[in-house]
A = this chain, B = another copy of it.
Amino acid sequence: MTTTPAPESPLSTAHQISPSLIATLPGNYYTDPEIFRQESEHLFESMWFCAVRSADLDKPGAFRTVQIGRENVIINRTRKGELRAFLNICRHRGARLCMEESGEVKRSLQCPYHAWTYDLDGKLVAAPNLIKMPDVDRVEYGLIKVHLREWLGYAWVCLADEPPSFEDAVMYAAVERLGDPAAIEQYGTENLALGKRIVYDVKANWKLIVENFMECYHCATIHPELTDVLPEFADGYAAQYYVGHGAEFGEEIKGFTVDGSEGFAKLPSVSDDQDRRYYAITVKPTVFINLVPDHVIMHRMFPMAEDRTIVECDWLYAPEVVESGADVSKSVELFHRVNEQDFEACERTQPAMASRAYRKGGVLVPNEHHIGIFHEWLLEKLGGSHAGPVH
């Protein structure tokens, strides 16, 4: 087993209380509906948001609907096989086009109220008594389009008029974390198959979930199975703590499974350096990527309210593993337990955010100082309009 020296903490100038301690965000950042509204506006509805797994839309006409900030978005596959995303609302009188979470249409999306009909590229193609009128433009009155990019086998959408650079805002998170643009590509995530999906309804603010994922100071306390597999986690240093580092499997451990038993064959392009290691990446604001030699675990968060977050977690394997019907339950069970342990901790933390004891926030110990960077990023994103810390 590799011994991990305590690394230097990442730079954080803000909120330094003492050499050991820096302040977290004040409690109202986790409880105030107005701050959640600002986050919806400036983060979820302005940044790239990982919405659906591309392969879930497996044929032309397939669609999914997802909640992104305050907007409901429909993503569908066109007849040519491309993905498109639109606000899920008819341009006429505002009815929601699709109420279902997923489904399939033939050639068009038809509003069930007055039968305004849009093709799968969003163009208005029929509207009773109206469509021939020269002043009603089929594109101008088409569905409101949302930007869409595919990466790692997922559709990432952006509701901003001018989206930020996808490379800088999304892909760079993996480069920065792994130290190498090629590293994440070696897992070939976009070619993997879905082995298991579990959806969690967490009664906690989304930032508590991010902060929890970013540190491993809690691992020794609440993750017995994970620290068995990754012994260095028992020391409290997060896999995300320094560039390029992946937590190594324990000597006796055969695979990334709940009991350390054998997993599956290493994914074909995973390098020897990457073998027997666990890498975690946070793609702000709402995505976690977990890389192990034989599978990839993707977390997508859907913040619903200041105190509620839906988390959708996908376990992805080599297609032949899934096709063969191999038993993935032991590798699923490991991170499913981690998820449940983490989300319970977040739910236990949420109610105390309103206490006078957290009015100026809590403290981050050295192992957690890098969370301060997340807080600074958030404050910068909310800009001058955000409600100030209460002092």
Chain A residues within 8 Å of B, Cβ to Cβ: 18-21, 24, 27, 45, 70-72, 87-96, 99, 112-115, 127-130, 133, 135-136, 141, 144, 159, 211, 217-218, 220-222, 235-236, 345, 348-349, 351-358, 361-367
Contact = CB atoms under 8 A, between A and B. Distances in A.
Contact of A367 (B88, B129, B217, B349): B129
Contact of A94 (B90, B129, B352): B352
A41 B144 CA distance: 36
B220 A94 contact: no
12 contacts: A19-B133, A24-B93, A70-B355, A89-B352, A89-B357, A91-B362, A92-B362, A92-B365, A96-B349, A112-B348, A113-B349, A141-B363
Given A20-B130, A112-B222, A128-B236, 17 more contacts: A24-B94, A91-B357, A92-B363, A93-B211, A93-B364, A94-B349, A94-B358, A95-B345, A96-B349, A96-B351, A96-B352, A113-B348, A113-B349, A114-B218, A127-B365, A128-B221, A129-B236
Nearest to A218: B114
Given A113-B222, A218-B113, A355 B89 contact: yes
Contact of A365 (B112, B130, B352): B130
Given A112-B222, A365-B92, A21 B135 contact: yes
Given A115-B220, A362-B91, A133 B20 contact: yes
A71 to B, nearest CB: 6
A355 B87 contact: yes
A293 to B, nearest CB: 29
A113 B21 CA distance: 17
A24 to B, nearest CB: 7
